[in-house]
Structure 1
């Protein structure tokens, strides 16, 4: 499987998670992506993105302000736009109903 690298050092939230999501959409299941960034919020945002998408965080390293994520693309991910919204009153996510 091919390995891809993404250098996002110096970018601030939300750019690291958005660019990571875009890069993952271009991978096939099982391919690896190494992401390097310096935004501390990425330590929360990127693992959450992976959990929502069904991808795998193989390793996360923190070294003197540099975050490195070793990611493996999951199987069968739906690349359609996220169908959840956050309820601002409760902070919980709610699934949106499709209006057909």
Structure 2
């Protein structure tokens, strides 16, 4: 399955999570969203968002001040 890239570098909380939520809505169940963020709060925000919404957090890595999150959209209820 393909991945969708969402670049939210330079945006501050809560915009990265809000934009990711909007992007996930357009993906099919099981779709993957790769998010690039520079907001330090994203390190806590994305795991909390996934825990609350049921989406999977497959990866959370930081390199050079850029966080890379890989989210998998939850399966349909």
TM range (shorter): over 0.9
Q: How big is the alpha-carbon RMSD for the aligned residues of Structure 1 and Structure 2?
A: 1.0
Matched, 1:30 2:33: no
Determine which structure has the larger helix proportion and give its number.
2
Unaligned runs of 5+ in 1: 78-100
Unaligned runs of 5+ in 2: none
Which of 1 and 2 has greater Rg? Answer: 1
Q: Which residue does the alignment assign to 1:88?
A: none
> How many Å separate the matches in 1 of 2:17 and 2:31?
18
TM-score normalised by the chain length of structure 1: 0.73
Which residues of 2 match residues 1-100 of structure 1 at below 5 A?
A: 1-76=1-76
Q: Give the count of matched residue pairs.
A: 77
Q: Which residue does the alignment assign to 1:94?
A: none
> How many Å separate the matches in 2 of 1:43 and 1:54?
17
